[in-house]
Structure 1
Amino acid sequence: MFYWLSISLTAVDLISKLFVRYHMDVGDTKVFREGLLHFTYYQNSGAAGSSFQGYGRLFGVIAVLFIAFVVIYRKRRSDESGLRLQDAGFAFLVAGAAGNGIERLLQGKVTDFLQFSPDGGILNIADLFINVGVVILIGQLLYESIRARVRST
């Protein structure tokens, strides 16, 4: 499930970025739902919040290292309950890293286009996948913690 989900989600991210690059010019904004969602095409050569501009390829290398770490970790971990949820969380994280990493390595920048408020930051689907992955992994840790406490009482 991990590999299938990672590859599928990465494809969704990359296709969405291709669509934006094909249909919009950098700086264009299209209002999808006023006050809720704008599509604003921005190219980010740095990290989150446009920090560290110009280091896009370095962040691409970091993404590759992160993906390698996750794959190695998954192969070395012991079989225990909750791994499906953990695999799903890791798949979202890897897909986000891969989607942004591929663009950073090839172009030195990522395509950002999702803006949830007119004054808010601009991100992409890979960024959303990273957030979902973190939430899933935190949820899995909380579940395991509660389950362990229930067992011990």
Structure 2
Amino acid sequence: MLFAVIAVDQLSKIAVRRSLPVGDSYLFWPGVLRFTHIENTGAAGGSFEGWGPIFIPVAIAVVVWVVYAQRKGKLNNPWLAAGAGFFAGGAVGNAIDRLLFARVTDFLEWTGGRGIMNLADLAINVGVLLGIVGMLLEARAARKNPEPDV
């Protein structure tokens, strides 16, 4: 999952950088989605503007944690594993932009939404949601089948 997210994110950003000048917009789905090319030196929604390099070690830490958790069997449920893959893939996708360009290419502008994002940002959000579902399912299973006292 991690590598698929990185590949799709980077390919989408390459397409945007090649076909839509910075600052320009293209109405993709009227009333729902517009592509607006911006370059962000901060975090999601333009927060922490200029602080983007700080997020590179964070992305590395996320990947290290995912690899560790996977090897230790902590991502044994498919929801947690998928969530970790989406989250780490999104973090790495944006870190690649920060390393190569010192900014992140954003282009997804949802009608009525706040800010402009990219597929890596969406993957991070999906990863968090899948992780929450995975944790809730594990908690539910633990309540149904409590471990015997030793």
State the TM-score, normalized to the length of structure 2. Answer: 0.89
1:126 aligned partner: 120
2:100 is aligned with 1:97: no
> Which letter maps to 1:20?
V
SS of residue matched to 2:38: strand
Partner Cα separation in structure 1 for residue 101 and residue 76 of structure 2: 40
RMSD of Structure 2 on Structure 1 (CA): 1.7
Uncovered stretches (5+) of structure 1, i.e. residues with no partner: none
Question: 2:45·2:114 contact (CA, 8 Å) conserved in 1?
Answer: no
Partner Cα separation in structure 2 for residue 7 and residue 54 of structure 1: 27
1:151 aligned partner: 145
Uncovered stretches (5+) of structure 2, i.e. residues with no partner: none
Partner Cα separation in structure 1 for residue 82 and residue 113 of structure 2: 32
Cα deviation for residue 118 of structure 1 reads 5.8
2:33 aligned partner: 37
For residues 76-131 of structure 1, the C-alpha deviation after alignment (integer angstroms, 9 at most, x for no partner) is 345x852x322111110111011001111111110000011166310000010011
> Which letter maps to 1:71?
V
Higher relative helix content:
1
1:53 aligned partner: 49
2:20 is aligned with 1:24: yes
State the TM-score, normalized to the length of structure 1. Answer: 0.88
Going from structure 1 to structure 2, the CA distance change for 1:123 and 1:148 (only over 3 Å counts) comes to same
Question: 1:85·1:137 contact (CA, 8 Å) conserved in 2?
Answer: yes
Partner Cα separation in structure 2 for residue 56 and residue 144 of structure 1: 35
Summarize the alignment of residues 7-22 of structure 1 with structure 2, pairs less than 5 Å apart: 7-22=3-18
Going from structure 1 to structure 2, the CA distance change for 1:119 and 1:140 (only over 3 Å counts) comes to closer
> Which letter maps to 2:46?
S
